[in-house]
Structure 1
Amino acid sequence: MPAAPTPGSRLRLTALLAPPLLWLTLAYLGSLAILLLSAFWATDSFTSDVVHTWNTDNFHELLTTPVYRTIALRTLSIAAAVTVVDALLALPMAFFMARVAGRRWRRPLLVAVLTPLWAGYLVKAYAWRVMLGENGVVGAALAPFGLHGPGYGTTAVVIVLAYLWLPYMILPVYAALERLPERMLEASADLGAGAWRTLRSVVLPAVRPAVLAGSVFTFSLSLGDYLTVQIVGGKTQLLGNVIASQVTLDLPMAAALSAVPVVLIVCYLAAVRRAGALDSL
């Protein structure tokens, strides 16, 4: 039975955790609070200076302007599409790594999954811009089948974001499948269940919290991304790049727009927490 913590150990633990917690509170939560507070300010239409006058005009404009609603729904749809694509790709890849590949191959495969994370974000995004271009690799590969590449636009944004965040989905699913007891699969086979029944009744319920845990990353990162849409999005507008463009023009409005992804992420975290997904992070 572990010994009860002594007052001295509690004091050392408090001294160890206090600086990072203080930094988190001041640098992250403090700046977030200031950002949301500035959403209630206004911008002088003549001088473009921020006027510290309390009002809700920015949120009223955000809720009543159709273009903002359209951009918010488009951003939400793209984040959801990226999450679904990554889940569909991660499940078979993680299953092969954890249950099919031999033990000596698991580590090289895991390194292969992590390798794209070592490259710079902009390098990968611009590489995809070249591949998705008019004379890119994607179009050349589809040409023999009478097809053409997606070009720049919403589809390209989903493809690139799904590629960028795929490792964040694979890793928790791989960890969940590696922890899945072999006896559960054997028991399913002994009871006469086929491969698809075992997948549906044993494997998927076991990895569901891990998929939801991975979706926290893919969904939130896609929701706040603004560089990818600038590189391969063409004329597509998402919340991220609209906020970036408004920062220098109308800071309070940019702050009000920033509240939208914050609210969406908080709601999503609350939803997946009920499913036990945060325990898999």
Structure 2
Amino acid sequence: MRRRRLSAHLFRSTRTRLATLLGPPVLWLGLIYFAAIFSLLSTAFFSVDEFTNAVVHTFTTANFVDVFTEPAYLRATLLTVGIALSVTVLCVCLGVPMAFFMAKIARPRSRGLLVALVITPLWASYLVKVYAWQAMVQPGKGVIAWLGQPFGLDGPGFGRVAIVLTLTYLWLPYMILPVYAGLERLPDSLLDASGDLGGRTWRTLRSVVLPLTYPSIVAGTIFTFSLSLGDYITAQIVGGKVQMLGNIVYQNYAANLPFAATIAIIPIAIMLIYLALVRRTGALDNL
């Protein structure tokens, strides 16, 4: 009983010290973040002088009318969401088995090495990785086309498929690491108990592993979906003529800042809706 009180006291004192140390930086970063969001929202309601390109600080909803009435922007929104969802699904399909192998099948001595191998691509430059994929996906000359020559297959070329493949490679570690952390906390005794009760591999995965690691998978999808939703450099390099929302913001930033701010609000709104849906599932409460 005395030990419990002592441990509880130490926990409370440690939590108080962390709150004291981290409180001011977190508050400062929060103020900067919300100030930037407020500036973005307010700029979307302004207009631009046609002759000087200067921002006119007069309230107007013309930018929102243009965005929601022009079919091209609706298509760009649907395309961006579709690419982000495709990347997220691929990351789940690839990342969950890899994380399971790392956490439950690989030898304990090699797990640290596997984690290091997953993290290593994050040390490389973003542009280097994207340009490497540009060399891989280009038709006729790329690595994928060279590998597919014996089978009569060509590279995917520049377009949606190339964007999805490149973004999947870029953000896959952000899926593997949370799932790996969740699987590490999963007791091996539960897997043994499932096997003793007659549960085969797929039944154990479906009834034991996936329900308990679901919060970690959801956490990974938040990373992959949000990062894909706001990306625009990948589309510029390997996307060909494909235009995502980020590209529209980039193209209009210098010429029409209020309109670019209006387009930028769309991914923010989509992400808020996604987070609200995720929160309703209760997955974030169990992280």
Give the structure-2-normalised TM-score: 0.92
Superposed displacement of residue 266, structure 1: 1.1
Is 2:221 the partner of 1:254?
no
Partner residue of 1:217 out of 223, 234, 237: 223
Partner residue in 1 for 2:122: 117
**What's the % identity of the aligned pairs?**
53
Partner residue in 2 for 1:168: 174
Structure 2: where are the runs of 5+ without partners?
none
Counterparts in 2 of 1:4-153, with a 5 A limit? 16-134=21-139, 135-153=141-159
Is 2:278 the partner of 1:272?
yes
Structure 1: where are the runs of 5+ without partners?
none
Superposed displacement of residue 81, structure 1: 0.4
Give the structure-1-normalised TM-score: 0.94
Is 2:266 the partner of 1:234?
no
Partner residue of 1:198 out of 192, 199, 204: 204
Superposed displacement of residue 32, structure 1: 1.2
After superposition, the C-alpha distances for 1:101-155 in whole angstroms (9 at most, x for unaligned) are 1101111111000000010101101111111123111110011111111011110
Superposed displacement of residue 50, structure 1: 1.1
Mapped contact 1:129–1:231 kept (Cα < 8 A): yes
**In terms of mean alpha carbon deviation, does 254-263 or 171-180 score higher?**
171-180
Superposed displacement of residue 45, structure 1: 2.2
Alignment CA distance shift 1:129-1:217 (3 Å): same
Mapped contact 1:213–1:280 kept (Cα < 8 A): no
After superposition, the C-alpha distances for 1:62-93 in whole angstroms (9 at most, x for unaligned) are 11110000000100000000000000001111
Aligned CA-pair RMSD: 1.8
Question: 3-state DSSP class of the match of 2:59?
Answer: coil
Question: 3-state DSSP class of the match of 1:45?
Answer: coil
Return the alpha-carbon distance in structure 1 between the equivalents of residues 73 and 100 of structure 2.
Answer: 40
Question: 3-state DSSP class of the match of 1:148?
Answer: coil
Number of equivalent positions: 278
Aligned residue identity for 2:101:
F
Question: 3-state DSSP class of the match of 2:50?
Answer: coil
After superposition, the C-alpha distances for 1:237-280 in whole angstroms (9 at most, x for unaligned) are 00001101010111100000010001111111122123344356
After superposition, the C-alpha distances for 1:205-241 in whole angstroms (9 at most, x for unaligned) are 1111111100000000000011110110000000001
Aligned residue identity for 2:240:
G
Mapped contact 1:165–1:218 kept (Cα < 8 A): yes
Return the alpha-carbon distance in structure 2 between the equivalents of residues 107 and 275 of structure 1.
Answer: 32
Return the alpha-carbon distance in structure 1 between the equivalents of residues 116 and 131 of structure 2.
Answer: 23
Return the alpha-carbon distance in structure 2 between the equivalents of residues 234 and 271 of structure 1.
Answer: 33
Aligned residue identity for 1:156:
A
Return the alpha-carbon distance in structure 1 between the equivalents of residues 30 and 95 of structure 2.
Answer: 34
Mapped contact 1:48–1:250 kept (Cα < 8 A): yes
Return the alpha-carbon distance in structure 1 between the equivalents of residues 109 and 86 of structure 2.
Answer: 34
Return the alpha-carbon distance in structure 2 between the equivalents of residues 100 and 14 of structure 1.
Answer: 38
Question: 3-state DSSP class of the match of 2:155?
Answer: coil
